[in-house]
Amino acid sequence: MSDTITNRFADGDAPSEDPVDDARPAPGDEKMWTARLRGAGVRALPPSKLLPDRQPSYVASWVYIFGILSFASFIVILLSGVVLIVRGPSWWHESQVGLFFNSIHLWSVELFFFFMVLHLWGKFFMAAWRGKRALTWMTGAVTFAISIGAAFTGYLSQQNFDSQWISTQAKDGLNSVGIGALFNVLNFGQMLLWHVLLLPVFVGALIGIHLLLVRRRGVVRPLPVRTGRHARTARARTPAAPPSSEGVDR
């Protein structure tokens, strides 16, 4: 190691207790990629924004729990899926315990779609894409679409009558648009690998980005209740709100 390591604490300064402050690079290090990435990350999502312990007072409806219920379902899907992976794809046909874990996996998928669709309905009727939250909506919608793909490959991986029928039918749709040439639903090995690795990774990554975006922007405000001409008069009379701060919601 070099003898000339820059010691930021050379003057006896202790590391700052404020995590945002602590993330600042030492003088001269600002151009480092690491410092820049860290700075951008911390500016976008300081700890108190990443895991806030407060929410705006309008976050007070049972509709707000559907997102977390979907995510919780996803976790149960993963956990039950891992058990099925550990024992291999034929286990659930040969063992009652295996069948039980397959059942947990199936029902957690039903719950996942159940709550995800309710979450979609709720967010739609709240117009939750307002205020620069379009990307949050979009990542959610894409997650929905890819989840359908993940479930589809799951059905194909069952190695029973269901997967025989689904694969021989679905092949026509996919072949008709050329996708079937590369994505062969009759190929169990390929479908199983997509199902246990590629698609869960895509879904998980998208959910992660979606959650970070929700935290970054915060929960969208209620739609304004239009009160006709009073609304316009009130807007004209009242001083504008201060510009949005990049900082933490306190």
Residues 49-78 touching other proteins, rule: CB under 8 A, are: 51-66, 68-69, 71-73, 75-76
3-state DSSP call for residue 96? helix
Nearer Cβ to other proteins, position 35 or 65?
A: 65
Binding residues for other proteins restricted to 112-131, rule: CB under 8 A: 113-114, 117-118, 121-122, 124-127, 129-131
Phi, psi of 10 (to 5 degrees): -60, -35
The CB-of-146 to other proteins minimum distance in angstroms stands at 11
Nearer Cβ to other proteins, position 23 or 106?
A: 106
Q: Using the rule CB under 8 A, is 235 a contact of other proteins?
A: yes
Q: Using the rule CB under 8 A, is 23 a contact of other proteins?
A: no
Q: Using the rule CB under 8 A, is 214 a contact of other proteins?
A: no
Q: For residue 106, which of 137, 129, 73 has the smallest C-alpha distance? A: 73
Question: CA 14, CA 127: separation in Å to the nearest integer?
Answer: 47
Q: Using the rule CB under 8 A, is 212 a contact of other proteins?
A: no
Question: CA 76, CA 105: separation in Å to the nearest integer?
Answer: 7
The CB-of-2 to other proteins minimum distance in angstroms stands at 41
Q: For residue 73, which of 133, 114, 121, 128 has the smallest C-alpha distance? A: 114
The CB-of-37 to other proteins minimum distance in angstroms stands at 23
Q: Which secondary structure element, helix H or strand E, spans residue 229, and what is its range?
A: helix 229-237
Among 102, 195, 203, 207, which residue interacts with other proteins (rule: CB under 8 A)?
A: 102
Tokens of 138: 């979009």
